[in-house]
């Protein structure tokens, strides 16, 4: 399932500048077109590149947009409070969000909107009325047959908008419940919203109305997405629902007895993730499927008993279940209980297999067997979903006193160390060494803070995964930028400062 954490409403965003002192307070009479005021927040890795790509902006425009959004946010909050019941909404205008528009139902508010640093606009309906109208629509119109699929407040048109595939019928329903046509607008739309859910190892899924098993690992077969689990959980063509009882998928392969594995093809609402639940609200990232040595630690995720660990005892075990014998299982001293079947076994960040069965329980302890993953993938022609493998060893860049690691997708960048910078107090040599995974093209840049912001003072843009920089620089603030020009994967960066 998705776990999203929205940014706190009061956090201060910033951009192109490195703030060495506290950010200045918002001036009362600053206009919306006044210069950017930098603050102390650096965009997370990949954000700048994604905004360039998706908004069609230059890097300078992206930085300016983020700065303007941060600068004008407290302006909007202050004016919203001051206008009270007259407030009619607010929005940004311009490629770089350089203008904040604040709407009011009272023309007398225009001077204070201008003085506050925004552009005024007079509208006919207050935000309070728009909100109450939308609430009524959501209660009695949205979701009814022919009643529309989406509703929202459009501050720019000062209306509540209902999107519908059958506008005439929706308008008839709207009139029957006395909706004000001056406030509500019905627009034709082909939108067909649906929820999105994540496939995470250890999460429950249901077969029919009473049987429950656990997801093993996310997989793909060509363009088809799915997951692997135990064979005794379901038969071919049986359907599944997810942890939330939403329609999920269908068993496309199932083997039991003899072996004990299956795979489920899921619908478009479900997204495979290289994750396994660790039972404490967190997840373990799956980076590969290297087989663990006997005696290695191993942990299991399941929907009944969550997260339990032990060691690999023996391999190639044969077990006689009442339903028939199973061969080539791996034996562990990890406990499990009914409902954990199919769940993930991992050793560190390497996928091992799916829970088959065992004896005992998680109160007194037990023995549990898992079906090794390799046979499942080979039998059904599946590909394990991973996050790209473990970070490369720093040995290729050995001898550097500072070392950091990370992972990038194609087109993403990251600032190091740790999305921050370091200070050089004397003139001297700055050395950086980048080691990325084979088959990718990662580039390395050294940047220095100056009067115009961060400037690139040295770079290495070779065609492969490894780059080195040696640069003699004066005292100041420096940082490295790692950029994925082609391919995705982990990287290690070693560096030293004078």
Residue 372 to residue 376: CA distance in whole angstroms: 7
Task: Answer with the one of 188, 204, 227 that is the final residue of a domain.
Answer: 188
As given in the structure block, the two tokens for residue 259 are 């072996």
Task: State pLDDT tens for residues 318-336.
Answer: 888 888 888 889 999 999 9
Looking at the structure, do residues 219 and 328 belong to the same domain, yes or no?
Answer: yes
Look at residue 114 and tell me whether its pLDDT is greater than 90.
yes
Looking at the structure, do residues 40 and 116 belong to the same domain, yes or no?
Answer: yes
Task: Answer with the one of 345, 375, 390 that is the final residue of a domain.
Answer: 390
CATH number at residue 315: 2.40.10.10
132 tagged catalytic: no
Pairing of strands 350-361, 402-408: unpaired
**Number of domains within the chain:** 4
Look at residue 166 and tell me whether its pLDDT is greater than 50.
yes
Looking at the structure, do residues 229 and 315 belong to the same domain, yes or no?
Answer: yes
Q: Quote the pLDDT of residue 43.
A: 66
Task: State pLDDT tens for residues 437-496.
Answer: 777 889 999 999 988 788 888 888 887 788 899 888 899 999 999 998 888 888 899 999
Looking at the structure, do residues 140 and 218 belong to the same domain, yes or no?
Answer: no
Task: Calculate what percentage of the chain has a pLDDT beyond 70.
Answer: 87
Looking at the structure, do residues 302 and 245 belong to the same domain, yes or no?
Answer: yes
Looking at the structure, do residues 414 and 433 belong to the same domain, yes or no?
Answer: yes
341 tagged catalytic: yes
CATH number at residue 59: 3.30.300.50
CATH number at residue 175: 3.30.300
Residue 11 to residue 327: CA distance in whole angstroms: 56
Looking at the structure, do residues 403 and 331 belong to the same domain, yes or no?
Answer: no
- Name the β-bridge partners of 67: none
Looking at the structure, do residues 178 and 212 belong to the same domain, yes or no?
Answer: no
Res. 25 pLDDT band, cuts 50 70 90: very low
184: domain range? 132-188
Looking at the structure, do residues 103 and 175 belong to the same domain, yes or no?
Answer: no
Looking at the structure, do residues 217 and 364 belong to the same domain, yes or no?
Answer: yes
Task: State pLDDT tens for residues 390-400.
Answer: 344 334 577 88
86 tagged catalytic: no
Residue 186 to residue 174: CA distance in whole angstroms: 9
As given in the structure block, the two tokens for residue 84 are 């009270």
* Mean of the per-residue pLDDT values of the chain: 83
- Dihedral sign for Cα atoms in the order 68, 74, 78, 84: positive
Q: Which of 63, 203, 218, 232 is catalytic?
A: 232
Res. 257 pLDDT band, cuts 50 70 90: very high
According to DSSP H, which parts of 104-231 are helical? 110-116, 127-140, 167-176
Q: Which of 164, 214, 259, 341 is catalytic?
A: 341
Position with higher pLDDT, 261 vs 190: 261
Look at residue 108 and tell me whether its pLDDT is greater than 70.
yes
Look at residue 28 and tell me whether its pLDDT is greater than 90.
no
- CA-based radius of gyration for the chain: 29
Looking at the structure, do residues 267 and 140 belong to the same domain, yes or no?
Answer: no
Q: Which of 203, 260, 435, 443 is catalytic?
A: 260
Look at residue 196 and tell me whether its pLDDT is greater than 90.
no
Task: Answer with the one of 124, 151, 170 that is the final residue of a domain.
Answer: 124
pTM for this prediction:
0.53
Res. 194 pLDDT band, cuts 50 70 90: low
Residue 292 to residue 315: CA distance in whole angstroms: 10
CATH number at residue 480: 2.60.120.380
The candidate with the shortest Cα–Cα distance to 219, out of 260, 252, 259, is 252
Pairing of strands 270-277, 197-201: parallel
Helix pair 47-55, 59-83: axis angle to 10 deg: 90
Look at residue 40 and tell me whether its pLDDT is greater than 50.
no
Cβ(33)–Cβ(98) under 8 Å? yes
Looking at the structure, do residues 205 and 177 belong to the same domain, yes or no?
Answer: no
Q: Quote the pLDDT of residue 252.
A: 97
């Amino acid at each position: 399932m998705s776990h999203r954490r929205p940014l706190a409403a009061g956090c201060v965003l910033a951009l192109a500048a490195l703030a060495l002192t506290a950010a200045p307070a918002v001036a009362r009479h600053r206009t919306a077109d006044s210069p950017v005021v930098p603050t102390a927040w650096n965009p997370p890795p990949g954000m700048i590149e994604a905004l360039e790509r998706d908004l069609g902006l230059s890097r300078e425009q992206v930085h300016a947009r983020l700065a303007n959004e941060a600068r004008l946010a407290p302006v909007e909050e202050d004016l919203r409070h001051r206008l009270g019941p007259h407030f009619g909404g607010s929005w940004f205008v311009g490629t770089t969000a350089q203008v904040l528009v604040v709407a009011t139902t009272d023309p007398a508010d225009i001077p204070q909107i201008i003085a506050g640093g925004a552009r005024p606009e007079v509208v006919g309906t207050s935000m309070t009325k728009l909100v109450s109208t939308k609430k009524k629509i959501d209660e009695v119109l949205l979701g009814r047959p022919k009643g529309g699929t989406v509703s929202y407040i459009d501050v720019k048109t000062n209306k509540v908008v209902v999107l519908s595939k059958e506008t005439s019928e929706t308008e008839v329903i709207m009139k029957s419940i006395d909706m004000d046509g001056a406030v509500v607008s019905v627009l034709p739309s082909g939108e067909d919203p649906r929820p999105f859910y994540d496939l995470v190892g250890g999460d429950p899924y249901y077969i029919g109305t009473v049987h429950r098993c656990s997801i093993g690992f996310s997989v793909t077969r060509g363009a088809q997405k799915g997951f692997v689990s135990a064979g005794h959980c379901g038969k071919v063509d049986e359907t599944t629902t997810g942890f939330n009882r939403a329609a999920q998928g269908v068993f496309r392969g199932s083997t039991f007895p003899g072996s004990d594995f299956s795979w489920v093809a899921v619908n478009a609402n479900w997204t495979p993730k290289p994750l396994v639940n660790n039972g404490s609200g967190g997840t373990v990232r799956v980076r590969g499927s290297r087989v663990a040595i006997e005696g290695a630690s191993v942990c299991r995720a399941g929907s009944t008993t969550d997260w339990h660990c032990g060691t690999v005892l023996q391999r190639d075990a044969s077990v006689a279940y009442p339903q028939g014998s199973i061969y080539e299982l791996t034996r562990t001293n990890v406990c499990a209980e009914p409902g954990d079947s199919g769940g993930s076994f991992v050793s560190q960040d390497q996928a091992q297999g799916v829970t088959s069965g065992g004896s005992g329980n998680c109160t007194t302890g037990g023995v549990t067997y898992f079906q090794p993953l390799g046979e499942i993938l080979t039998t059904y022609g599946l590909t394990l979903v991973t996050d790209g493998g473990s970070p490369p060893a720093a040995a290729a860049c050995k001898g550097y006193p500072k070392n950091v690691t990370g992972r990038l997708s194609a087109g993403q960048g990251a600032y190091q160390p740790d999305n921050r910078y370091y200070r050089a107090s004397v003139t001297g040599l700055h050395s950086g060494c980048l080691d990325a995974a084979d088959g990718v093209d990662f580039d390395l840049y050294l940047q220095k803070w100056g009067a115009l912001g961060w400037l690139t003072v040295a770079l290495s843009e070779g065609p492969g995964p490894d780059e080195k920089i040696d640069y003699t620089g004066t005292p100041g603030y420096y940082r490295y930028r790692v950029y994925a020009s082609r391919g995705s994967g982990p990287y290690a960066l070693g560096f030293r400062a004078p």
